[in-house]
């Protein structure tokens, strides 16, 4: 049976709500994204890639396919939570829509200059429902019934088989299952990049040396993402531990909600969605690049690096889309040389010296896990991912008028 310690997701953690009122005009929504666009160097990155041809699976609470900033880009897949809610209860799809918009929102209106623009605006989204939001009537049943224990594992396998190139997971559990571990292995063996959030327990762990690991992010090969504040330092709520690979902005992040609404929120969930968008840009440009090498490109291209190049707060630094694409191109050339032009085996990353293999083994809770080198030229720390992925939503803001809609 699932216990409280194994809950899939927690939403709006106590003391971490932020309230904001969005401007009424949709073009001001885009203006509110300016800091993220500049931090990730998206304008420069979009000259090279906008995510065309890539499918990002959003394992979450569901995505609203009719939102004007996502319309035409969303394919609604399986609902693995079916039966948890009473019959006839519609899913709220808030968290999932929000995350999808940060990944692949394309805006609306003339020239699509209004509304939310995602990191990879030409990517497609596969919505896979694996969690319920806490206000849904079946939330308690979902988190206590044994029959829902492996929905994440099933969702991962489903997304892979449906052609996903990247899987975004803004979800978390404190304990792992054998089925989830096997599903992660399966995804990586198929060349799929998995990205998950480092979690939002940081403020409750101020007297500790690290914040707890969680899953699916703590599995080998999953890119673990921390959140930064407006100064690009670790956000107070963001977990810190040796599994954090990279970070991204996670405070005052604008996104879309169901029914053409807009939200402002903070959390490692938002940061994770942004990194999944960057991974989509890389996979669009270099579709054969293996998951370990995509992770390395993300780490090697990071900016705002901590002293010494790595720390457990923000990993190798803040993801930068333009630099990640540059690193990916370099790694792709290196891989082609090392493999004689053959496709790279996703399970065998090529190191800076041209040799494949694991870099470091760490032992935690009597489990041995192998992590791959993440950044060329540096002593590898390895992408082990740890996450409690709780997104912290702030306040729902309804659009005041429709004068500028398409």
Judge whether 345 counts as a catalytic residue.
no
When pLDDT is cut at 50, 70 and 90, the band that residue 386 belongs to is very low
**What's the pLDDT at 339?**
60
**What's the pLDDT at 292?**
97
Judge whether 60 counts as a catalytic residue.
yes
Cβ-count burial of 90 within 10 angstroms (0-12 exposed, 13-18 middle, 19+ buried)? exposed
DSSP state of 306: P
pLDDT tens digits, 22-47: 544 556 788 999 999 999 999 999 99
If you average pLDDT over every residue of the chain, what do you get? 79
Top CATH class, 4-343+386-397: alpha beta
**What's the pLDDT at 346?**
54
pLDDT tens digits, 328-348: 999 999 877 766 666 555 545
Using the predicted structure, report yes or no on whether residue 268 has a pLDDT greater than 50: yes
Catalytic hit among 41, 49, 60, 201: 60
Distance of alpha carbon 148 from the chain centroid: 22
Share of the chain above pLDDT 90, in %: 60
Which range has the top average pLDDT, 47-56, 77-86, 146-155? 47-56
Cα(32)–Cα(381) distance, integer angstroms = 35
Q: Which residues pair with 246 in a beta bridge?
A: 225
Using the predicted structure, report yes or no on whether residue 295 has a pLDDT greater than 90: yes
From the DSSP assignment, how many helices (H) and strands (E) are in the chain?
Answer: 10, 14
For Cα atoms 147, 149, 150, give the angle at the middle one, nearest 5 degrees: 105
Catalytic hit among 61, 64, 73, 95: 95
More confident residue, 242 or 129: 129
Q: Is 248 helix (H, G, I), strand (E, B) or coil?
A: strand
Ranges 169-178, 224-233, 352-361: which has the least confidence: 352-361
Q: What are φ and ψ of residue 275, in 5° steps?
A: -70, -35
Catalytic hit among 92, 242, 243, 269: 269
Judge whether 95 counts as a catalytic residue.
yes
Q: Which sign does the torsion angle of CA 32, 33, 38, 43 carry? A: negative
Residue boundaries of the structural domains of the chain: 4-343+386-397
The arithmetic mean of pLDDT across residues 366-386, rounded, is 29
Cα(140)–Cα(7) distance, integer angstroms = 9
């Amino acid at each position: 049976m699932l216990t409280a310690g194994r809950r899939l997701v927690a939403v709006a953690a106590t003391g971490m709500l932020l309230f904001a009122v969005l401007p009424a005009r949709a073009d001001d929504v885009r203006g509110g994204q300016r800091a993220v666009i500049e931090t990730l160097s998206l304008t420069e990155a979009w000259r090279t890639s906008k995510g065309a041809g890539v499918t990002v699976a959003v394992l979450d609470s569901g995505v609203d396919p009719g939102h004007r900033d996502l319309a035409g880009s969303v394919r609604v897949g399986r609902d693995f939570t079916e039966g948890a809610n009473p019959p006839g209860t519609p899913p709220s799809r808030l968290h999932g829509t929000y995350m999808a918009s940060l990944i692949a929102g394309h805006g609306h209106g003339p020239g699509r200059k209004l509304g939310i623009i995602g990191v990879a605006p030409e990517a497609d989204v596969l919505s896979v429902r694996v969690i319920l939001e806490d206000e849904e009537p079946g939330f308690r049943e979902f988190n206590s019934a044994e029959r829902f224990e492996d929905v994440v594992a099933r969702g991962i396998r489903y997304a892979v088989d449906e052609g996903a190139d990247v899987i975004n997971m803004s979800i978390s559990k404190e304990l792992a299952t054998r089925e989830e571990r096997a599903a992660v292995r399966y995804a990586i063996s198929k060349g799929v990049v998995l990205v998950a959030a480092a979690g939002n327990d940081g403020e409750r762990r101020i007297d500790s040396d690290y914040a707890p690991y969680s899953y699916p992010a703590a599995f080998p090969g999953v890119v673990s993402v921390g959140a930064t504040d407006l100064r690009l330092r670790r956000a107070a709520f963001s977990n810190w531990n040796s599994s954090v690979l990279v970070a991204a902005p996670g405070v005052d992040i604008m996104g879309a909600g169901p029914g053409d609404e807009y939200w402002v929120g903070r959390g490692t969930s938002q940061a994770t969605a942004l990194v999944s968008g960057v991974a989509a840009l890389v996979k669009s440009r270099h579709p054969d690049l293996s998951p370990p090498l995509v992770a390395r490109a993300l780490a090697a291209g990071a900016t705002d690096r901590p002293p010494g190049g790595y720390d457990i707060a923000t990993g190798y630094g803040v993801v930068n889309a333009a630099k990640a694409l540059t690193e990916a191109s370099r790694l792709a050339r290196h891989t082609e040389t090392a493999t004689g032009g053959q496709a790279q085996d996703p399970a065998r990353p090529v190191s800076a010296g041209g040799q494949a293999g694991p870099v470091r083994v760490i032992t935690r809770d009597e489990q041995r896990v192998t992590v791959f080198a993440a950044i060329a030229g540096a002593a590898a720390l390895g992408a082990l991912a740890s996450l409690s992925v709780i997104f912290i939503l702030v306040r729902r803001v309804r659009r005041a008028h429709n004068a500028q809609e398409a």
